[in-house]
Amino acid sequence: MPPRKEGDVWFGRYENPMKPVVQRLREILLAADPRIDECIKWQAPTFTFGGNLASFFPKSKQHASLMFHLGAKIPGTFSRLEGEGDTGRVMKIGSVEDANDAKTELEAIVKAWCTWREADAAPAGARSAKAKPKSKSKATPSAKARTKTNTKATPTTAKATKPKPKATRAKIKTKGKRT
């Protein structure tokens, strides 16, 4: 996808010694797959398709730092992604030459992301088993159920309680006094 105007505006104001590296990474990411889009989130360029793929950490002056929000879950093995844990990964690129060397892996990451997100958005019967990411967690099903977060309130999870009113200054002054 071609660069967005809001990204161009952001780069016009971006002053950092790593600006040429960040711009080269942007070019590579946007050219890697026509489904990838960009926007400005968290005051930095963010690359999206079916969710947030990656965002730049714009204050880094020693290298361009690209945060892959769900990098640990992207199907495949990517040697340049750093980090541990269940979610994010970071790629650090120190020069335009290093960005060019990382181009093949960046393209593979973008393709794997888009394929995974597209399969995840498909109706349940149309999903491919290969497109689903493998869980790296060794937690038991009951442990997974305890850690799963439900962000939507349902009739069984919503509480129908009213918040308690705050005591006003007048009520506080009269408390304990006999009238």
For the segment 101-158, what is each residue's pLDDT rounded down to a tens digit?
A: 999 999 999 999 988 888 877 665 554 444 444 444 444 444 444 444 444 444 444 4
Residue reference for tokens 């790629």: 91
Residue 62 exposure: Cα atoms within 13 Å on the Cβ side: 2
CA distance 137 to 135: 5
The conformational region for residue 119 under phi > 0 = left, psi -120 to 50 = alpha, else beta, is: alpha
pLDDT digits (tens, 9 = 90+) for 21-67: 989 999 999 999 999 999 888 888 999 888 889 998 888 889 999 99
Confidence of residue 7 (pLDDT cuts 50, 70, 90): confident
Instruction: Please give the domain boundaries of the chain with CATH numbers for all domains.
Output: 5-131 (3.90.1150)
123-to-23, 62, 120, 129, 130 alpha-carbon distances in Å? 36, 44, 8, 13, 15
Confidence of residue 92 (pLDDT cuts 50, 70, 90): very high
* Angle in degrees, CA 68, 150, 109, rounded to 5: 20
Confidence of residue 5 (pLDDT cuts 50, 70, 90): confident
For residue 74, give the nearest of 37, 116, 106 by alpha carbon. 116
Question: Could you give the 3-state DSSP secondary structure of residue 65?
Answer: strand
